[in-house]
């Protein structure tokens, strides 16, 4: 299966500061894992910058202007207690969102069947008008809106298996039945959203997992609730918020997944994409803060995309 890897050196220049978990070392670990010979057939693409038009499909103009204005020439600017901008942060965030849009273009044109965007900062906590949770622009939401508007799709599904609920993505598409958002995540945990009763326009599906839950509970949640919801929706494109911080070694949460669980869920999602979307899957990196676990899990994910 043809798979294209999108990244950009600018994504290494976003520096939230010493000790911040969302460090450039995360992306270096992922890219090093994907340099293994078993990934030699990965096609490589350079992430372009997202355009203002692409950002404005999901973010308020005043918010986009504020992020641009906040970008420091030197030093750091804190947008919320967790979200920091350094001189390289704006370019990194633009390349991250641009990667996802370019990947959507590629799979919709048939240039590749699947894509993985190895980018940072992550995106799924950013709301229409607020940076939060390490995120500036909601990358996967920008990609979904691009698929709807630029390619005329009517049904786009977003699968999010990051350990933290993708509150920004959920909020952006809360009343948009063209997008199904399906998420497994630890609860209680930051950001405090993602209860099973949060349903939007009937297009939101949440499967919260208790601290300490592992492979069995994770797979049951997807098999019983989330995968059937996506399958019934018959998506024309499947997007993935690929966070790997539900791994047992991750320091920011208490779920107990293993790298094999990420291979399993990726295989299942690709099966649905094969049934309804001509195999089209675009995945973008979200969380994952133990470097070894992140590298191992991202490798399992990409290997399953390539299968």
* Nearest CA-CA partner of 262 in 283, 235, 279: 283
Q: For the chain, what is the total number of helices (H) and then of strands (E)? A: 10, 10
165 is catalytic: no
**Chain centre distance of CA 94:** 14
Are 255 and 289 spatial neighbours (Cβ–Cβ below 8 Å)? Answer: no
Are 101 and 53 spatial neighbours (Cβ–Cβ below 8 Å)? Answer: no
Beta strands in 156-246 (DSSP E): 156-160, 179-186, 204-209, 237-242
Q: Tokens standing for 98?
A: 């641009």
Neighbours of 130 (CB within 10 A): 18
Task: Please tell me which residue in 14, 125, 165, 185 is annotated as part of the active site.
Answer: 125
Phi, psi of 6 (to 5 degrees): -110, 130
Cβ-proximal residues to 174 (8 Å cutoff; 6+ apart), any chain = 200, 201, 204
Separation between Cα atoms, residue 29 and residue 110, nearest integer Å: 29
3-state secondary structure string across 23-48:
CHHHHHHHHHHCCCHHHCCCEEEECC
How far, CA to CA in Å, does 201 sit from each of 59, 173, 261? 20, 9, 30
Catalytic amino acids? 125
């Amino acid at each position: 299966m043809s798979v294209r890897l999108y990244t950009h050196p600018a994504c290494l220049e976003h520096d939230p500061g010493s000790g911040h978990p969302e460090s450039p070392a995360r992306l270096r670990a992922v890219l090093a894992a994907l340099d293994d010979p078993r990934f030699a057939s990965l096609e490589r693409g350079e992430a372009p910058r997202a355009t203002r038009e692409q950002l404005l499909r999901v973010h308020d103009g005043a918010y986009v202007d504020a992020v641009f204005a906040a970008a420091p020439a030197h030093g750091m600017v804190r947008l919320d207690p967790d979200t920091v901008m350094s001189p390289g942060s704006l370019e990194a965030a633009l390349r991250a969102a641009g990667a996802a849009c370019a990947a959507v273009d590629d799979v919709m044109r048939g240039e590749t069947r699947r894509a993985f965007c190895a980018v940072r900062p992550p995106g799924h906590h950013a709301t229409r008008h607020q940076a939060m949770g390490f995120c500036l622009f909601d990358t996967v939401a920008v990609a979904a809106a691009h698929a709807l508007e630029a390619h005329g799709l009517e049904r786009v599904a977003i699968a999010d298996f990051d350990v933290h609920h993708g509150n920004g993505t959920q909020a952006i598409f809360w009343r948009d039945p063209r997008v199904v958002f399906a998420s497994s995540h630890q609860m209680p945990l930051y950001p405090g959203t993602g209860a099973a009763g949060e349903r939007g326009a009937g297009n939101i599906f949440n499967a919260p997992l208790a601290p300490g839950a592992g492979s069995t509970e994770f797979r049951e949640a997807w098999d019983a609730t989330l995968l059937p919801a996506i399958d019934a929706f018959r998506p024309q494109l499947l997007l993935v918020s690929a966070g790997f911080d539900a791994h047992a070694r991750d320091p920011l949460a208490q779920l107990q997944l293993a790298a094999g669980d990420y291979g399993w869920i990726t295989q299942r999602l690709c099966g649905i994409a094969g049934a309804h979307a001509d195999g089209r899957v675009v995945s973008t990196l979200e969380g994952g803060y133990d470097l070894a676990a992140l590298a191992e899990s991202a490798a399992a994910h990409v290997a399953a995309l390539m299968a």
